[in-house]
């Protein structure tokens, strides 16, 4: 860990601002995204074509795994069952998005996201028990 949770989205905003012609994609867990999702306002205000891929397992994935491995599954504050609807949140900022739930949807969703020059949020449902480490 190195404690970088929440850093991805603001870093993507900075990268896109510094190099507007570059394709910038932030890949983030749902917990990490929630730590800096207010940056959607910056993305909208400055019309930044940042792409956001959320790996949504409804968990603080690495923290939960460490609690499982090192503390015998005594979990504390790692379950995010009540996440907001990230697609509606993006839409509130005028940002396009879609949610996928099956592996078969990945290729088409990525093609649609990458073909769009504007900001885009792709919410990918992930099995909560899929290992992250």
User: Which pLDDT band holds residue 60 (cuts at 50, 70, 90)?
Assistant: low
Q: What is the mean pLDDT of residues 82-98?
A: 95
Dihedral sign for Cα 39, 44, 46, 48, please.
Answer: positive
**Lowest-pLDDT range, 38-42, 74-78, 107-111?**
74-78
Question: Quick one: pLDDT at residue 109?
Answer: 98
- Is the sign of the CA dihedral 56, 58, 63, 67 positive or negative? negative
Cα dihedral sign, 89-91-93-97: positive
What are the structure tokens assigned to 88, written together? 């509606």
Contact 17, 47 (CB under 8 A): no
User: Which residues touch 2 (CB under 8 Å, ≥6 apart)?
Assistant: none
Both tokens assigned to 97: 């998005």
43 falls in which pLDDT band (50, 70, 90)? very high
* The pLDDT of residue 75: 66
**Is there a contact between 50 and 13 (Cβ–Cβ < 8 Å)?**
yes
Dihedral, CA of residue 61, residue 101, residue 33 and residue 8, to nearest 10: 90
Give the angle 49-80-87 at the CA atoms, nearest 5°: 30
């Amino acid at each position: 860990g190195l404690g970088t949770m929440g850093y991805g989205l603001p870093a993507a905003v900075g990268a896109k601002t510094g190099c507007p012609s570059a394709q910038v994609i932030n890949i983030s867990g749902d917990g990490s995204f929630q730590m800096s999702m207010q940056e959607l306002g910056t993305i909208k205000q400055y019309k930044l074509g940042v792409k956001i891929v959320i790996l949504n397992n409804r968990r603080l994935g690495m923290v939960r795994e460490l609690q499982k491995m090192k503390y015998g599954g005594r979990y504390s504050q790692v379950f995010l069952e009540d996440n907001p609807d990230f697609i509606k949140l993006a839409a509130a900022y005028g940002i396009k998005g879609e949610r996928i739930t099956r592996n078969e949807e990945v290729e088409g969703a990525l093609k649609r996201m990458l073909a769009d020059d504007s900001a885009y949020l792709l919410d990918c449902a992930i099995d909560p028990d899929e290992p992250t480490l």
